[in-house]
Structure 1
Amino acid sequence: MNARATPHKSREITGRTVLICFMGFFGVVAAVNAFMIRAAVTTFAGTETASAYRAGLAYKEEEAAAAAQAALNWQVEGRIARNTAGDAVLTVQIKDNNGVPVRGIAVDARLVHPASARLDQAVPLTRMADGSFRGSAEIAAGQWTLSLDIERDGERVYRTKSRVMLK
Protein backbone atom coordinates (compact mmCIF):
# COMPACT_ATOMS: atom_id res chain seq x y z
CA MET A 1 0.00 0.00 0.00
CA ASN A 2 1.31 3.21 -1.05
CA ALA A 3 0.10 6.00 1.10
CA ARG A 4 0.74 9.28 -0.46
CA ALA A 5 0.66 12.25 1.80
CA THR A 6 -1.21 15.07 0.36
CA PRO A 7 0.58 18.31 0.89
CA HIS A 8 -1.17 20.63 3.30
CA LYS A 9 -2.04 23.82 1.59
CA SER A 10 -0.54 26.75 3.53
CA ARG A 11 -2.62 29.82 4.06
CA GLU A 12 -1.48 32.72 2.00
CA ILE A 13 -0.75 36.04 3.71
CA THR A 14 -2.50 38.76 1.84
CA GLY A 15 -2.52 42.51 2.21
CA ARG A 16 -5.94 42.30 3.83
CA THR A 17 -4.62 39.90 6.53
CA VAL A 18 -1.68 42.20 7.29
CA LEU A 19 -4.01 45.22 7.49
CA ILE A 20 -6.40 43.47 9.90
CA CYS A 21 -3.53 42.30 12.15
CA PHE A 22 -1.96 45.76 12.06
CA MET A 23 -5.23 47.49 12.95
CA GLY A 24 -6.00 44.93 15.66
CA PHE A 25 -2.59 45.36 17.30
CA PHE A 26 -2.79 49.15 17.42
CA GLY A 27 -6.44 48.97 18.50
CA VAL A 28 -5.43 46.91 21.55
CA VAL A 29 -2.55 49.32 22.31
CA ALA A 30 -4.91 52.32 22.07
CA ALA A 31 -7.52 50.65 24.31
CA VAL A 32 -4.93 49.80 26.98
CA ASN A 33 -3.50 53.35 26.82
CA ALA A 34 -6.98 54.86 27.17
CA PHE A 35 -7.68 52.67 30.21
CA MET A 36 -4.36 53.52 31.84
CA ILE A 37 -4.76 57.27 31.22
CA ARG A 38 -8.27 57.24 32.68
CA ALA A 39 -7.10 55.25 35.73
CA ALA A 40 -4.18 57.62 36.30
CA VAL A 41 -6.23 60.81 35.97
CA THR A 42 -9.13 59.66 38.16
CA THR A 43 -6.96 58.30 40.97
CA PHE A 44 -4.33 61.04 41.16
CA ALA A 45 -5.10 63.09 44.29
CA GLY A 46 -2.72 65.96 43.69
CA THR A 47 0.72 66.97 44.73
CA GLU A 48 2.19 67.69 48.13
CA THR A 49 3.59 71.02 46.97
CA ALA A 50 2.04 73.24 44.33
CA SER A 51 5.42 74.71 43.38
CA ALA A 52 8.66 73.03 44.37
CA TYR A 53 10.55 76.15 43.27
CA ARG A 54 8.67 78.40 45.71
CA ALA A 55 9.00 75.81 48.47
CA GLY A 56 12.76 75.84 47.88
CA LEU A 57 12.84 79.62 48.14
CA ALA A 58 10.93 79.47 51.44
CA TYR A 59 13.33 76.92 52.92
CA LYS A 60 15.38 79.46 54.90
CA GLU A 61 12.19 80.91 56.40
CA GLU A 62 11.01 77.44 57.40
CA GLU A 63 14.39 76.71 58.92
CA ALA A 64 14.21 79.89 61.03
CA ALA A 65 10.63 79.05 62.05
CA ALA A 66 11.75 75.57 63.17
CA ALA A 67 14.51 77.09 65.31
CA ALA A 68 12.06 79.54 66.89
CA GLN A 69 9.63 76.68 67.50
CA ALA A 70 12.29 74.61 69.24
CA ALA A 71 13.17 77.57 71.47
CA LEU A 72 9.55 77.72 72.72
CA ASN A 73 9.92 74.23 74.22
CA TRP A 74 6.15 73.66 74.13
CA GLN A 75 4.54 70.30 74.83
CA VAL A 76 1.88 69.64 72.20
CA GLU A 77 -0.31 66.56 72.49
CA GLY A 78 -3.16 65.59 70.19
CA ARG A 79 -5.51 62.68 70.89
CA ILE A 80 -8.27 61.42 68.66
CA ALA A 81 -11.01 58.95 69.59
CA ARG A 82 -14.60 58.15 68.65
CA ASN A 83 -17.50 59.40 70.76
CA THR A 84 -20.77 57.50 71.28
CA ALA A 85 -22.29 59.11 68.16
CA GLY A 86 -19.42 57.75 66.05
CA ASP A 87 -17.78 61.10 65.33
CA ALA A 88 -14.03 61.51 65.73
CA VAL A 89 -13.22 63.82 68.64
CA LEU A 90 -9.86 65.58 68.56
CA THR A 91 -8.42 66.96 71.80
CA VAL A 92 -5.27 69.11 71.68
CA GLN A 93 -3.34 70.22 74.75
CA ILE A 94 -0.60 72.82 74.40
CA LYS A 95 1.56 73.57 77.42
CA ASP A 96 4.64 75.73 77.84
CA ASN A 97 7.92 74.48 79.33
CA ASN A 98 6.45 74.93 82.87
CA GLY A 99 3.42 72.73 82.10
CA VAL A 100 0.98 75.68 82.01
CA PRO A 101 -1.57 75.84 79.14
CA VAL A 102 -0.52 78.41 76.55
CA ARG A 103 -2.94 81.34 76.17
CA GLY A 104 -3.55 83.76 73.32
CA ILE A 105 -3.21 81.21 70.53
CA ALA A 106 -5.42 79.73 67.82
CA VAL A 107 -5.07 76.18 66.52
CA ASP A 108 -5.75 75.04 62.96
CA ALA A 109 -6.11 71.24 62.86
CA ARG A 110 -6.21 69.07 59.74
CA LEU A 111 -6.38 65.34 59.33
CA VAL A 112 -4.38 64.56 56.21
CA HIS A 113 -4.89 61.24 54.47
CA PRO A 114 -1.53 59.67 53.55
CA ALA A 115 -2.70 58.36 50.18
CA SER A 116 -5.29 60.83 48.88
CA ALA A 117 -5.46 64.59 49.35
CA ARG A 118 -9.15 64.39 48.43
CA LEU A 119 -9.88 62.84 51.83
CA ASP A 120 -8.12 65.57 53.87
CA GLN A 121 -10.38 67.23 56.42
CA ALA A 122 -10.14 70.28 58.62
CA VAL A 123 -11.28 69.83 62.20
CA PRO A 124 -12.68 73.04 63.72
CA LEU A 125 -11.43 73.41 67.30
CA THR A 126 -12.81 75.43 70.21
CA ARG A 127 -10.95 76.35 73.37
CA MET A 128 -12.16 74.59 76.51
CA ALA A 129 -12.11 75.92 80.08
CA ASP A 130 -9.06 73.82 81.00
CA GLY A 131 -7.01 75.44 78.20
CA SER A 132 -7.23 72.52 75.79
CA PHE A 133 -8.82 72.62 72.34
CA ARG A 134 -11.53 70.21 71.24
CA GLY A 135 -13.39 69.55 68.02
CA SER A 136 -15.21 66.76 66.21
CA ALA A 137 -15.83 65.68 62.64
CA GLU A 138 -17.05 62.69 60.65
CA ILE A 139 -13.85 60.94 59.65
CA ALA A 140 -13.32 57.45 58.25
CA ALA A 141 -11.29 54.90 60.16
CA GLY A 142 -7.65 54.41 59.25
CA GLN A 143 -4.24 56.03 59.50
CA TRP A 144 -4.11 59.80 59.26
CA THR A 145 -1.51 62.52 59.66
CA LEU A 146 -2.58 65.06 62.27
CA SER A 147 -1.30 68.47 61.23
CA LEU A 148 -1.52 71.26 63.81
CA ASP A 149 -0.67 74.88 63.02
CA ILE A 150 -0.61 77.08 66.12
CA GLU A 151 -0.90 80.80 65.50
CA ARG A 152 -0.45 83.87 67.66
CA ASP A 153 -1.53 87.28 66.33
CA GLY A 154 -2.13 85.81 62.89
CA GLU A 155 1.38 84.34 62.51
CA ARG A 156 2.28 80.69 62.75
CA VAL A 157 4.50 80.05 65.76
CA TYR A 158 4.36 76.26 65.94
CA ARG A 159 3.69 73.41 63.51
CA THR A 160 3.55 69.73 64.26
CA LYS A 161 2.66 66.67 62.24
CA SER A 162 2.12 63.23 63.71
CA ARG A 163 0.65 59.94 62.55
CA VAL A 164 -2.56 58.89 64.31
CA MET A 165 -4.74 55.80 64.02
CA LEU A 166 -8.50 56.22 64.09
CA LYS A 167 -10.60 53.14 64.72
Structure 2
Amino acid sequence: MSMTMDRQEKRLTGWHVLAMLIGFFGFIFAVNGAMIYFAIGSFPGTVTDSSYRDSQRFNAEIAAARAQAERGWKVATHTERSADGHAVVRIEARDAAGKPLTGIAFKATLQRPTDRREDRVVALGAVPGREGVFQGLTEGVAAGQWHLVVEGDGPQGRLFLSENRLVLN
Protein backbone atom coordinates (compact mmCIF):
# COMPACT_ATOMS: atom_id res chain seq x y z
CA MET A 1 0.00 0.00 0.00
CA SER A 2 1.35 3.36 -0.85
CA MET A 3 0.76 6.43 1.16
CA THR A 4 0.90 9.76 -0.44
CA MET A 5 0.53 12.95 1.38
CA ASP A 6 -1.64 15.41 -0.29
CA ARG A 7 0.01 18.71 0.28
CA GLN A 8 -1.17 21.73 -1.43
CA GLU A 9 1.65 23.84 -2.71
CA LYS A 10 1.62 27.46 -1.67
CA ARG A 11 2.22 29.50 -4.71
CA LEU A 12 3.65 32.98 -4.75
CA THR A 13 1.40 34.97 -6.97
CA GLY A 14 1.59 38.50 -8.25
CA TRP A 15 -0.97 39.59 -5.66
CA HIS A 16 1.23 38.27 -2.86
CA VAL A 17 4.24 40.16 -4.20
CA LEU A 18 2.16 43.33 -4.55
CA ALA A 19 0.91 43.02 -0.96
CA MET A 20 4.47 42.51 0.33
CA LEU A 21 5.72 45.57 -1.58
CA ILE A 22 2.85 47.73 -0.36
CA GLY A 23 3.43 46.56 3.23
CA PHE A 24 7.17 47.17 3.05
CA PHE A 25 6.95 50.65 1.56
CA GLY A 26 3.98 51.52 3.77
CA PHE A 27 6.13 50.73 6.80
CA ILE A 28 9.00 52.84 5.43
CA PHE A 29 6.66 55.80 4.78
CA ALA A 30 5.18 55.51 8.29
CA VAL A 31 8.62 55.53 9.93
CA ASN A 32 9.77 58.46 7.77
CA GLY A 33 6.60 60.35 8.60
CA ALA A 34 7.16 59.83 12.33
CA MET A 35 10.78 60.96 12.03
CA ILE A 36 9.75 64.09 10.10
CA TYR A 37 7.10 64.89 12.72
CA PHE A 38 9.58 64.62 15.60
CA ALA A 39 12.30 66.52 13.70
CA ILE A 40 10.02 69.45 12.96
CA GLY A 41 8.64 69.48 16.50
CA SER A 42 12.08 69.54 18.11
CA PHE A 43 13.94 71.85 15.70
CA PRO A 44 15.07 74.82 17.80
CA GLY A 45 15.22 77.23 14.89
CA THR A 46 18.05 79.07 13.27
CA VAL A 47 21.20 80.25 14.99
CA THR A 48 21.21 83.52 13.09
CA ASP A 49 18.54 85.43 11.24
CA SER A 50 20.84 86.47 8.40
CA SER A 51 24.09 84.67 7.71
CA TYR A 52 24.96 87.32 5.12
CA ARG A 53 24.73 90.14 7.68
CA ASP A 54 26.75 88.10 10.16
CA SER A 55 29.43 87.45 7.56
CA GLN A 56 29.73 91.21 7.00
CA ARG A 57 30.47 91.67 10.71
CA PHE A 58 33.05 88.86 10.79
CA ASN A 59 36.13 91.11 10.52
CA ALA A 60 34.80 93.37 13.29
CA GLU A 61 34.32 90.31 15.53
CA ILE A 62 37.89 89.18 14.84
CA ALA A 63 39.19 92.67 15.73
CA ALA A 64 37.12 92.68 18.94
CA ALA A 65 38.51 89.25 19.90
CA ARG A 66 42.08 90.49 19.35
CA ALA A 67 41.43 93.62 21.44
CA GLN A 68 39.95 91.44 24.20
CA ALA A 69 43.02 89.18 24.17
CA GLU A 70 45.33 92.23 24.33
CA ARG A 71 43.54 93.51 27.45
CA GLY A 72 44.53 90.28 29.22
CA TRP A 73 41.47 90.18 31.45
CA LYS A 74 40.90 87.07 33.55
CA VAL A 75 37.22 86.25 33.95
CA ALA A 76 36.30 83.12 35.90
CA THR A 77 32.73 81.82 35.79
CA HIS A 78 30.91 79.50 38.16
CA THR A 79 27.37 78.23 37.60
CA GLU A 80 25.29 76.14 40.00
CA ARG A 81 21.81 74.72 39.50
CA SER A 82 19.58 73.74 42.41
CA ALA A 83 17.05 70.89 42.32
CA ASP A 84 14.15 73.34 41.95
CA GLY A 85 15.55 74.70 38.66
CA HIS A 86 17.14 77.91 39.95
CA ALA A 87 20.60 78.66 38.61
CA VAL A 88 23.17 81.05 40.07
CA VAL A 89 25.81 82.48 37.73
CA ARG A 90 28.80 84.11 39.37
CA ILE A 91 31.80 85.66 37.65
CA GLU A 92 35.00 87.13 39.00
CA ALA A 93 36.63 89.62 36.64
CA ARG A 94 40.18 90.93 36.97
CA ASP A 95 42.38 92.99 34.68
CA ALA A 96 45.85 91.98 33.46
CA ALA A 97 47.42 93.28 36.69
CA GLY A 98 45.03 91.20 38.82
CA LYS A 99 42.95 94.17 39.99
CA PRO A 100 39.15 93.78 40.12
CA LEU A 101 37.30 95.11 37.08
CA THR A 102 34.86 97.91 37.82
CA GLY A 103 32.73 100.06 35.57
CA ILE A 104 31.82 97.12 33.35
CA ALA A 105 28.23 95.86 33.07
CA PHE A 106 28.23 92.09 32.77
CA LYS A 107 25.36 89.92 31.62
CA ALA A 108 25.13 86.20 31.12
CA THR A 109 22.91 84.11 28.89
CA LEU A 110 22.27 80.42 29.43
CA GLN A 111 21.52 79.05 25.98
CA ARG A 112 20.03 75.60 25.47
CA PRO A 113 21.74 73.97 22.45
CA THR A 114 18.62 71.98 21.62
CA ASP A 115 15.91 74.62 22.03
CA ARG A 116 16.29 78.41 21.81
CA ARG A 117 12.95 78.81 23.57
CA GLU A 118 14.63 77.70 26.82
CA ASP A 119 17.36 80.39 26.73
CA ARG A 120 17.63 82.42 29.94
CA VAL A 121 19.19 85.89 30.29
CA VAL A 122 20.81 86.43 33.68
CA ALA A 123 21.29 90.00 34.88
CA LEU A 124 24.56 90.08 36.79
CA GLY A 125 24.89 92.59 39.58
CA ALA A 126 27.96 93.51 41.60
CA VAL A 127 28.26 91.56 44.85
CA PRO A 128 28.43 94.06 47.74
CA GLY A 129 31.80 94.11 49.46
CA ARG A 130 33.52 92.08 46.72
CA GLU A 131 34.91 94.21 43.90
CA GLY A 132 35.05 92.49 40.55
CA VAL A 133 32.53 89.80 41.53
CA PHE A 134 29.17 89.75 39.78
CA GLN A 135 26.28 87.39 40.42
CA GLY A 136 22.78 86.73 39.10
CA LEU A 137 19.93 84.26 39.50
CA THR A 138 17.51 82.78 37.01
CA GLU A 139 14.83 80.12 37.28
CA GLY A 140 13.36 77.43 35.08
CA VAL A 141 16.74 75.94 34.20
CA ALA A 142 16.54 72.24 33.35
CA ALA A 143 19.38 69.83 33.93
CA GLY A 144 21.57 69.08 30.93
CA GLN A 145 23.95 70.79 28.53
CA TRP A 146 23.96 74.56 28.19
CA HIS A 147 26.07 77.27 26.58
CA LEU A 148 27.04 80.07 28.94
CA VAL A 149 27.61 83.34 27.09
CA VAL A 150 29.10 86.14 29.21
CA GLU A 151 29.27 89.69 27.84
CA GLY A 152 30.90 92.72 29.42
CA ASP A 153 29.87 96.14 28.19
CA GLY A 154 31.66 99.41 28.86
CA PRO A 155 31.09 102.96 27.63
CA GLN A 156 32.64 102.06 24.24
CA GLY A 157 30.43 99.00 23.71
CA ARG A 158 31.16 95.33 24.20
CA LEU A 159 34.58 94.80 25.76
CA PHE A 160 34.35 91.12 26.70
CA LEU A 161 32.70 88.02 25.23
CA SER A 162 33.06 84.43 26.37
CA GLU A 163 31.14 81.33 25.30
CA ASN A 164 31.49 78.07 27.21
CA ARG A 165 29.62 74.77 27.18
CA LEU A 166 28.66 73.40 30.56
CA VAL A 167 26.57 70.61 32.04
CA LEU A 168 24.17 71.47 34.85
CA ASN A 169 22.90 68.67 37.08
- Normalization by structure 1: what TM-score? 0.79
Do the aligned partners of 2:43 and 2:114 also contact (CA within 8 Å) in 1?
no
Separation of aligned partners in 1, 2:9 and 2:92: 87
Bigger CA drift: 103-112 or 139-148?
A: 139-148
Separation of aligned partners in 2, 1:2 and 1:92: 96
Whether 2:152 is the aligned partner of 1:153: answer: no
Do the aligned partners of 2:85 and 2:142 also contact (CA within 8 Å) in 1?
no
Q: CA deviation at 1:32?
A: 1.5
Aligned to 2:28: 29
SS in 2 for 1:60: helix
Separation of aligned partners in 1, 2:14 and 2:86: 69
Q: Report Cα offsets for 1:113-166 as digits up to 9, x if no partner.
A: 344434322112222333321111122333432210111126211101223443
Gaps of 5+ in 2: none
Gaps of 5+ in 1: none
Give the length in aligned residue pairs. 166
Separation of aligned partners in 1, 2:167 and 2:7: 74
SS in 1 for 2:53: helix
Paired AA for residue 86 in structure 2: D
Bigger CA drift: 31-40 or 86-95?
A: 86-95
Aligned to 1:61: 60
Give the % identical residues.
36
RMSD: 2.9
Separation of aligned partners in 2, 1:98 and 1:89: 27
SS in 1 for 2:147: strand
- The 5-angstrom pairing of residues 14-163 of structure 1 reads 17=16, 20-82=19-81, 87-129=86-128, 130-131=130-131, 132-138=133-139, 139-153=141-155, 155-163=157-165
SS in 1 for 2:47: coil
Bigger CA drift: 60-69 or 84-93?
A: 84-93
Whether 2:3 is the aligned partner of 1:3: answer: yes
- Normalization by structure 2: what TM-score? 0.78
Q: CA deviation at 1:108?
A: 1.9
Separation of aligned partners in 2, 1:89 and 1:134: 7
Q: CA deviation at 1:68?
A: 0.7
